[in-house]
Amino acid sequence: MKSIDEITRLSAEDLERISLDESIPVPEELSARVQAAVRKPARWVLPAGVAAAVATLVAVGLTLTQNPEPKDTFDDPYLAYAEVEKVFAKISGTVAYGAEKVSQSEQTLDKLSYWK
Amino acid sequence: MKKLYILVAMLLVSITALAQDGRSLYNKYSDYDNVEAVYISPAMFRLIGKIPDVKMEGENVNLGPVIKSLSGLYILSIKQGAVADELAADVNHFIKKGQYELLMEAKESGEVTRMYTVGDDSVVNSFVMLSHAGAETNFICLDGTIPRDKLEELIADAAKD
């Protein structure tokens, strides 16, 4: 009898040839042993899957109905663009303020290190 | 059976967490009194993307590449103590749940402004700016698939000018 290591080293062609070789006896209890080795899924898996799918559908449905897409504030893309521009100006203004503070701190640190 | 309940509960919690986004906050607060609310939809962003020269007024900053990648803009501005505080708390909650990363924080005369992003190294899926000062809260949320380098470049260029 071959060991598992020997079997894993066999090529697909070798495995096919051996499986077709009727001179090799098949143990009588092999089929029963294979069936016993294959674990049946737990009984709760199927109902759990169904329940999870139903819950997903319900949750997605609730999310879509309770959180609809709002109505556009602007009908004119130029007005909408002007608003986007304002938003970026605001964001940039905050970043500029932060950058200025960092620069001031660096200057203060430079002065302190100069006097040391 | 216990495993089943745990599985369903986890699923519902994760879906509820996903539902907390700029849109849900907008839907919650936009109809309140004394609230300024602006929403720009993906369809409108597609229209804006067709405007030939999308540059910031008076500045040499091209908004085009970023605008084409946006899919939603939500702005809420509330100047009413209790509701402003509630919005700030809700935004902070959704920032934590959404695993946003703090980009920067600025404090000026009692006003705290924080910017957050969520995404990966190359793409920003959502950008949030929250300013809170006393009885006033301003919330800006930009959704899309924004190239991170383009967004950072744009903000840096505009800040320089």
> Is B75's CB within 8 Å of A87's CB?
yes
CA A35 to chain centre: 35
Is B6 inside a domain boundary? no
Q: Kindly state whether B112 is in contact with chain A, defined as any CB-CB distance less than 8 angstroms.
A: no
d(CA B49, CA B66): 9
Tokens representing residue B45 in the block: 């962003």
Is B11 inside a domain boundary? no
Q: Kindly state whether B118 is in contact with chain A, defined as any CB-CB distance less than 8 angstroms.
A: no
Is B156 inside a domain boundary? yes
Domains of chain B: total: 1
| R_g of chain A, CA atoms, integer Å | 36
Residue B76 is part of which domain span? 21-160
Is B97 inside a domain boundary? yes
CA A4 to chain centre: 36
Give the pLDDT of chain B (161 residues) as one tens digit per residue: 666 666 666 655 555 555 568 899 999 999 998 899 999 999 999 888 887 766 655 555 667 778 888 999 999 999 977 899 999 999 999 899 888 999 888 888 888 999 999 999 999 999 999 999 888 999 999 999 999 888 888 777 766 65
Q: Smallest Cα–Cα separation from A68: which of B18, B47, B19? A: B19
Residues from chain A contacting residue B7 (CB–CB below 8 Å): 48, 51-52
> Is B104's CB within 8 Å of A95's CB?
yes
Q: Kindly state whether A47 is in contact with chain B, defined as any CB-CB distance less than 8 angstroms.
A: yes
Residues B92-107 as b or e (16 or more Cβ within 10 Å = b) = eebbeebebeebbebe
Kindly report, residue by residue over A9-22, the tens digit of the pLDDT: 888 888 888 888 88
Is B14 inside a domain boundary? no
Would you say the C-alpha torsion A75, B43, B24, B56 has a positive or negative sign? negative
Is B152 inside a domain boundary? yes
Kindly report, residue by residue over B98-141, the tens digit of the pLDDT: 889 998 888 888 889 999 999 999 999 999 999 998 889 999 99
List % helix, strand, coil for chain B (3-state, nearest 5): 40, 35, 25
Across the interface, of B7, B40, B129, the residue whose CB is closest to A73 is B40
Is B15 inside a domain boundary? no
d(CA B27, CA A26): 70
Is B12 inside a domain boundary? no
Q: Kindly state whether A27 is in contact with chain B, defined as any CB-CB distance less than 8 angstroms.
A: no
Contact assessment for residue B29 and residue B83, using Cβ atoms and an 8 Å cutoff? yes
Across the interface, of B11, B48, B70, the residue whose CB is closest to A56 is B11
Residues from chain B contacting residue A52 (CB–CB below 8 Å): 7-8, 11
ipTM for the complex? 0.79
Q: What is the pTM of this model?
A: 0.67
